[in-house]
Every structure is written in C-alpha cells, then in structure tokens.
Structure 1
C-alpha cells in the first residue's frame, strides 16, 4: 500500500541523486534556494516520480511547489486517482 511516508522517502531519495553530496535534504528544504535545483533537474525529478508511481504529472503543479513537502501535497490527487487513498 502506498503511503505519504513511502512517497516522501522516494522524493528525498531522488533529490539526493540530483544535488551535491554534502546537501542536507529535508521535506521543508527549498528546491531552488536550498538545494540549487535547476529546471532540468526538476523535470528529471518529475520523470522519476512518474515512472516510479505510474502517474502523469502536469507541469503546472510546479508553479506552487517550493519544497519536497509541497511537491508531495501536489502529487496526492494524482497518486490517489491511480492508487486509491494515500
């Protein structure tokens, strides 16, 4: 069963592969200001999430997303439509 914790762990794991090794990544880290993610890396992150959870993520959700926690909240409706309650 898919849970918020599983999704957050995967988001953080993906981010760890996209940023410098010495970065401390937390659910409240700012994707751009704290982690230095460029748009191409954000797109890579979305593709990893789409592949892992077999969902389609509209690009416009990024307009309101600044942290991994906000990304998780934005993904929930898409995850729930594909997998049921998360």
Structure 2
C-alpha cells in the first residue's frame, strides 16, 4: 500500500539517482532552483514515476510543483483516483 511518506521517499530516491552529488536532496528542495533540473530531467523523473506507479501523469503537473513534497502530494491524488484512498 502506498502512503504519502513512501511516495515522497521514492521521489527523493529517484532524484538522488538522477542528479550526481545530490545526496542532500530534501523534501522541500526546489527542483529547479536548488537542484538545477531542466525540462528533460523533469520529464525523465515523471516517466520513472509513471513506471513505478503504473499510471499516467499529465505533463501540466509540472506547472504546479516545485518541490519533491509537492510532487508526492500531487501523485497521491492520481493514485487515489485509480486505487481509492491512499
């Protein structure tokens, strides 16, 4: 079962794997300003999360999220639509 903490930790692991030297990535790190993620890396992150959770994430989600915590919270909504309460 997915919980918000589990999803957040997965987002953080994905980011740490994608960004060399990003061991200190935290839940409130700004993915663009702090981590330097450009659009291609953001798309890679979304595709990885889509594979991990077997769901389709609309690209416009990127307009509303700046931090891993915000991204995890948005994913909760999509998972609940598909699976019921998380």
Range into which the TM-score falls when normalised by the shorter chain: over 0.9
- Counterpart in the other structure of 2:62: 62
Give the unaligned 5+ runs of structure 1.
none
- Counterpart in the other structure of 1:72: 72
- Counterpart in the other structure of 1:52: 52
SS in structure 2 opposite 1:52?
A: helix
Larger RCO (alpha carbons 8 Å, 6+ apart): 2
Deviation at 1:22, TM superposition (A): 4.6
Give CA-to-partner distance per residue, 1:54-78, whole Å, 9 cap, x none: 1100011110110001111222211
Give the unaligned 5+ runs of structure 2.
none
RMSD: 1.1
SS in structure 1 opposite 2:46?
A: helix
Q: Tell which deviates more after alignment, 70-79 or 56-65.
A: 70-79
